[in-house]
């Protein structure tokens, strides 16, 4: 599986940097965002180093579907019952800060810190 030794999310996926994990399987890892916008804010991350949505191809269709479905399961498990928000930031103009594909799932009672 492709990994980038300088990438923070690759390091989290490899267990080299700690994170508050809520899910891990062969392909995906999910953990709480370090600077949450909402009472519940998790990141769903493929273990493979995919830089952003701009690198996604048809070969990733199943993986992206798994990310979405996992996010819904996690929101339910984390007690989010009144709606939530999905965000994927892509590239510089998309406001992406960590160059490893990730899906934000945010929920919980408002007001939120951001978003």
Where do contacts with ligand 5GP occur on this chain (CB under 6 A)? 8, 19, 31-35, 43, 89, 95-98
State whether residue 10 is helix, strand or coil: helix
CA atoms of 111 and 71, how far apart (whole Å):
21
Q: How far is the CB of 49 from Zn ion (least distance, A)?
A: 4
* 49 catalytic residue (yes or no): no
Rg (CA), the chain: 14
Q: Which is the catalytic residue, given 41, 49, 100, 102?
A: 102
Q: Kind and range of the H or E element at 44?
A: strand 40-46
Q: Does 45 bind Zn ion (CB under 5 A)?
A: no
Q: Kind and range of the H or E element at 72?
A: helix 61-77
Q: How far is the CB of 98 from ligand 5GP (least distance, A)?
A: 4
State which residue, 43 or 80, has the beta carbon closest to ligand 5GP: 43
Give the one entry of ligand 5GP, Zn ion, none that residue 7 binds, where binding means its C-beta sits below a cut-off of 5 to 8 angstroms depending on kind. Answer: Zn ion
DSSP strand pairing (28-32 vs 84-87): unpaired
Q: How far is the CB of 96 from ligand 5GP (least distance, A)?
A: 4
User: Catalytic residue positions?
Assistant: 102
């Amino acid at each position: 599986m492709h990994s980038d030794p300088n990438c923070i999310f690759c390091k989290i996926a490899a267990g080299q940097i700690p994170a508050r994990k809520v899910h891990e399987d062969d392909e995906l890892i999910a953990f709480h965002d370090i600077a949450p916008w909402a009472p519940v804010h998790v990141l769903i991350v493929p273990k493979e180093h995919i830089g952003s949505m701009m690198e996604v191809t048809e070969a990733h269709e199943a993986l992206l579907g798994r990310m979405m479905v996992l996010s819904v399961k996690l929101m339910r498990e984390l007690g989010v019952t009144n709606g939530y928000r999905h965000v994927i930031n892509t590239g510089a103009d998309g406001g992406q800060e960590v160059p490893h594909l990730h899906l934000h799932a945010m929920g919980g009672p408002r007001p939120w810190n951001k978003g």
